[in-house]
Structure 1
Amino acid sequence: MSEIIVVIFSGGMDSYTLLNRALKNDLQVSAVTFNYGQRHAKEIEYAASACVELDIPHKIIDITAINELLQGSSLTSNIDIPEGHYADETMKSTIVPNRNMILLSLAVGYAISIGAKKVFYGAHSGDHAIYPDCRPEFVEKMNNVCAVANYQPIEIVTPYLNYDKGEIVKDGLLMGLDYTKTWSCYNGKDTACGKCGACFERMEAFACNSMSDPSGYEQ
């Protein structure tokens, strides 16, 4: 029997690529998606649809009660979503306090309960500038903690940690992935805005692969 793993799956393109790479590597995937009170549920809807299509176990966990503890981010509070490039200083307003430590801790508990020894998440180098919880030192420290926090050590795995988003898309295209089945935009409209950092980075990722995002944008 193949190895059981847990994948934190947001419904965005990075975690979608990660999920499919794990399946291509013959891993037995259980996906988990967290509703932590983010501004819209578009990504969650895309995650659910993808897991149905891939026929893999998928849990959507409602932790919206913690939203009142995670204020001050434009993703969880009534603060304008910044426009521009991900590397811009303004993009720091999209940091959700302690998000990945919280989500990884919950995913580790889930992994132990189903006999998995690894938790995968889609940290990548494009996030390093703004998000401390996507940097190599964070992953290293989380691995140290998860090795001793329970009787069963759990490994935090980040296959794309040193990849930029263009390289992630390249890997997905080599797998034949359809990225219209993912959602990245910070705004929950019918069509992606084309202005926020997530949209900018996504468009650049496809441009690096000499193509346009098939999903389309308002702008």
Structure 2
Amino acid sequence: MTHSPAPATVVIYSGGMDSFTVLHRALREGLDVHALSFDYGQRHRRELEVAARVCRELGVPHQVVDITAIHGLIDNSALTDASRAMPEGDYAEDNLTATVVPNRNMVLLSLAIAKAVNIGAGRVDYGAHGGDHVLYPDCRPAFVEAMNDVAGIANFAPVTIHVPYLRSSKAEILAEGLAMGLDYADTWTCYRGEDLACGRCGSCRERLAAFAAHGAVDPLGYAERPDPTAETERADPDAGES
């Protein structure tokens, strides 16, 4: 008896906690997963090394797309301009707006949709979540819904943008990953690309708060590890929703 091939999806995989969880969730659905990462000149390119290693270990097809040619179009951000000071502190519009990369997710999703059409995949997965809504417009439901509408009509073959954690907090994503037995030592979250995570940037602080909310210890190495009990309230599973 001939079996039909599993439906395919393209997972935008940065190497961070959220996309790591999305990747494993898609694998557990039994999908034919194709991981897609992007080098856009980010200061934290170490995430790409982590993504490549994880995909090798999982046997997942992985493509890193070099889009550094557009760096001059998106360099008005602390994430893409190494001469800028990296903001520190919790996620909030007043102190982390400098980390917004112009139009990043629209660019990345457009390329992922193209790959999906090219390989006959009906879906693109990415890891926007509720905690990002306060800061990043291209992680909010209105943007995702509009892009999903466009993905349905931009090609002869419609593609669905699947964002399983769109209204989930970082702590809720972590809870699902821990329940799946995932090892988050195989992720990179820090906005700095140094040997150890800094523990001070907004991305590190949000990650540490998520682990603290579950009474768990983050397995990643940190140059400076703040007191996790001070982060627990901010990482409450109901936080970050909109």
Q: Shorter chain as normaliser: what TM range? A: over 0.9
Tell me by how many angstroms 1:169 deviates.
0.5
Tell me by how many angstroms 1:88 deviates.
4.8
- Residue in structure 2 matched with residue 108 of structure 1 by the alignment: 113
- Residue in structure 2 matched with residue 120 of structure 1 by the alignment: 125
Distance 1:71 1:62 in 2: 15
| Between 189-198 and 72-81, the greater mean CA deviation after superposition | 72-81
User: Any gaps of 5 or more consecutive residues in structure 2?
Assistant: 225-242
Choose the corresponding residue for 1:72, options 73, 76, 88.
Answer: 76
- Residue in structure 2 matched with residue 57 of structure 1 by the alignment: 61
**Superimposed CA distance per residue, residues 24-68 of structure 1 (whole angstroms, 9 cap, x where no aligned partner):** 111110000000111132000000000001101000010000000
Equivalence map 1:202-213=2 (5 Å): 202-213=207-218
Choose the corresponding residue for 2:164, options 154, 159, 162.
Answer: 159
- Residue in structure 2 matched with residue 8 of structure 1 by the alignment: 12
Normalised by the size of structure 1, how large is the TM-score? 0.98
Aligned-pair identity (%):
55
The alignment partner of 2:35 has SS state of strand
Tell me by how many angstroms 1:212 deviates.
1.8
**Superimposed CA distance per residue, residues 120-161 of structure 1 (whole angstroms, 9 cap, x where no aligned partner):** 000000000000000000000001111111111111110010
Q: CA RMSD in A?
A: 0.8
- Residue in structure 2 matched with residue 87 of structure 1 by the alignment: 92
Normalised by the size of structure 2, how large is the TM-score? 0.89
Choose the corresponding residue for 2:204, options 187, 196, 199.
Answer: 199
Distance 2:222 2:212 in 1: 14
Residue identity matched to 2:145: E
Contact 2:13-2:37 at 8 Å conserved across structures: yes
User: Any gaps of 5 or more consecutive residues in structure 1?
Assistant: none
The alignment partner of 2:143 has SS state of helix
Choose the corresponding residue for 1:138, options 121, 140, 143.
Answer: 143
Distance 2:150 2:44 in 1: 32
Distance 1:150 1:189 in 2: 41
Equivalence map 1:158-177=2 (5 Å): 158-177=163-182
Equivalence map 1:177-196=2 (5 Å): 177-196=182-201
- Residue in structure 2 matched with residue 216 of structure 1 by the alignment: 221
Residue identity matched to 1:59: Q
Distance 2:29 2:162 in 1: 14
| Between 148-157 and 84-93, the greater mean CA deviation after superposition | 84-93
Aligned residues: 219
